[in-house]
Amino acid sequence: MLTSLLIPFRVIAHLLWGVITTAIIGVLIIGVGVFKILLPFPATQRLCSAAANGLFRVWAYCMSMMFQLTQRMEWHIKGDLDLHENGWYMVMANHRSWVDVLVLMHLTRRHMPTPRFFLKSQLMWIPVIGWGCWVLDMPFMKRYSKDLIQKKPHLKGKDIATTTRSCAKFRHIPTTVVNFCEGTRFTPEKHKKKNSPFKNLLPPKAGGTAFSMQIMGEQFEAILDVTIVYPGNDSRPVVWHLLSGRLKNVYVDIKTLPVTADLIGDYANDPKFKEHFQNWLNQRWHEKDQTIDDIRKTITETR
């Protein structure tokens, strides 16, 4: 009874913390962006990028505190995070909730370079958040349906061009490139509509990952296959469990994969490489699907 009475206070505390810290740090990042526009010199650009990245890391620490703001939460992390801030990494993760972003920020806040997320183009117009992400050179992706591309062929390859431009910027500053390969958050409705061959996942889209590898593969020190599981939270959105203080456990499995020569190639123009890369990613997704089943089995056995 007492726990239920505390829910409104927990929700208010989390919302206030998230909104206030995001607004303050977001405005500071946008301020850095103004200098970046007004002083377009290489040295100034590098200095502004470093300052914006530093502020973004502060935001990561603030968001990480949300997990402990109103009650103790347990992290169950399996895998190796013996990484460093001055390298380049590719993260492939499943996408269950907006909370996934906060989980990855928590994981990368100390031992990895600043993460860059592939974002939907609509997020650009969200005040403070969208503008701040633009200053941080986050790639904004605009997906086009097959029907629209047939009607307007000039739109074909637009997302490829966006990926290419963004990754070109990342070559000059240590970066963790984060790709939610499913392209959207998992829901039972989407799972059914896409006729997914996976029990717990949507089919992965290989293009963004393949083009990132093509441009930056030789710089990436490792590929991190990250699987996130929130136990017992399927009936209501995970973000509600976080805000209400009921997200008591987060399970994360991290597999560190080598960057091999067969994963770097011309995805757009080489049919054999395209087929190989899609098969490789699908195999990773089958293994990730099994990992989710194993984690959920472990959770059930420990209850």
* Mean pLDDT lowest among 87-96, 137-146, 252-261: 137-146
Burial group, residue 188, by CB count within 10 angstroms (0-12, 13-18, 19+)? exposed
Tell me the C-alpha to C-alpha distance, in Å, between residue 178 and each of 2, 112, 113, 145, 223.
Answer: 40, 12, 11, 23, 10
* 187/215 Cα distance (integer angstroms): 32
* 81/143 Cα distance (integer angstroms): 32
- Look at residue 39 in the predicted model and tell me its pLDDT: 87
Instruction: Say which amino acid occupies 151.
Output: K
- Look at residue 7 in the predicted model and tell me its pLDDT: 85
Over range 98-125, report the average pLDDT.
85
- Percent share of the chain, pLDDT over 70: 88
Q: How many helices (H) and strands (E) are present in the chain, helices listed first?
A: 10, 8
**Contact 259/220 with Cβ under 8 angstroms?**
yes
User: Confidence band (pLDDT; 50, 70, 90) for 156?
Assistant: low
User: Confidence band (pLDDT; 50, 70, 90) for 36?
Assistant: confident
Q: Say whether pLDDT at 228 is over 50.
A: yes
Q: Say whether pLDDT at 284 is over 50.
A: yes
- Look at residue 149 in the predicted model and tell me its pLDDT: 61
User: Confidence band (pLDDT; 50, 70, 90) for 146?
Assistant: low
- Look at residue 113 in the predicted model and tell me its pLDDT: 86
Contacts of 154 (CB under 8 A, 6+ apart): none
Phi/psi at 224 (5° precision): -105, 110
Q: Say whether pLDDT at 296 is over 60.
A: yes
Over range 132-142, report the average pLDDT.
82
Kindly give the residue spans of alpha helices, DSSP state H, lying in 95-172: 99-111, 129-135, 146-151, 158-170
User: Confidence band (pLDDT; 50, 70, 90) for 2?
Assistant: very low
- Look at residue 231 in the predicted model and tell me its pLDDT: 84
Average pLDDT along the chain: 86
* 127/210 Cα distance (integer angstroms): 31
What DSSP letter does each residue of 50-106 carry, written as one string?
HHHHHHHHHHHHHHHHGGGSSS--EEEEES-----TTS-EEEEE----THHHHHHHH
Q: Say whether pLDDT at 213 is over 60.
A: yes
User: Confidence band (pLDDT; 50, 70, 90) for 208?
Assistant: confident
Q: Say whether pLDDT at 40 is over 90.
A: no
- Look at residue 90 in the predicted model and tell me its pLDDT: 93
* Mean pLDDT lowest among 141-150, 233-242, 290-299: 141-150
Question: For the packed helices 158-170 and 207-216, what is the interaxial angle rounded to 10 degrees?
Answer: 40
DSSP H or E stretch at residue 255: strand 249-257
- Look at residue 259 in the predicted model and tell me its pLDDT: 94
Q: Give the tens place of pLDDT for each residue, 70-105.
A: 888 899 999 876 677 888 999 999 999 989 999 999
